[in-house]
Amino acid sequence: MGLHSQSYIVGSRLHYNLYDKLGIIIMKLKNLTAVACLSLLGATANAGIVSFDGATKNGGLAETGTAGGAGATFNGTEPVGQTLTFNDFVVTAGQSKGFNLAKPAGGMFDLSDNISSRRVYQDWGNAGLGAVSYSSFSGDGIESNVGSGSNNDEVLFFDFGIDTILDTVWFNGGHREKVKSDNDGNLKDGSDALFNIFVSTDGDKYSSIFAGGQQQPTDLDFLSTGLDSAYRYYAVAATGWGDHSSYVEAIEYSEVPEPGTLALLGLGLMGLGFARRKTQA
d(CA 47, CA 201): 20
What CA–CA distance (Å, rounded) separates 137 from 81? 11
Long-range contacts of 143-146 (CB under 8 A, 24+ apart): 143/238, 143/243, 143/244, 143/245, 144/100, 144/193, 144/194, 144/238, 144/239, 144/240, 144/242, 144/243, 144/244, 145/100, 145/240, 145/242, 145/243, 146/95, 146/243
Q: Is residue 50 part of a domain?
A: yes
Which residues neighbour 46 within 8 Å (Cβ) at sequence distance 6 or greater?
87, 88, 255
Helix (H) / strand (E) containing 195: strand 194-200
CA–CA dist 193, 240 (Å, integer):
6
Quote the CA–CA distance of 181 and 276 in Å, as a whole number.
61
The model's pLDDT over 58-73, given as tens digits with 9 standing for 90+, comes to 788 999 999 999 999 9
pLDDT in the model for residue 176: 86
| C-alpha closest to that of 238 among 280, 196, 276 | 196
What pTM was estimated for this model as a whole?
0.78
Within a domain: 241: yes
**Better-predicted residue by pLDDT, 37 or 131:** 131
What range does the domain containing 138 cover?
44-259
Round to whole Å and give the CA distance between 121 and 207.
24
**Count of domains forming the chain:** 1
In a domain, 30, yes or no: no
218 falls within a domain = yes
Residues in the chain: 281
Question: Hey, what amino acid is at 141?
Answer: G
Whether 3 is in a domain gets the answer no
d(CA 243, CA 145): 5
pLDDT single digits (tens) 78-126: 999 999 999 999 999 999 988 899 999 889 999 998 899 999 999 998 8
- Provide the terminal-to-terminal Cα distance of the chain, rounded to the nearest Å: 33
Q: Percent of the chain beyond pLDDT 90?
A: 58
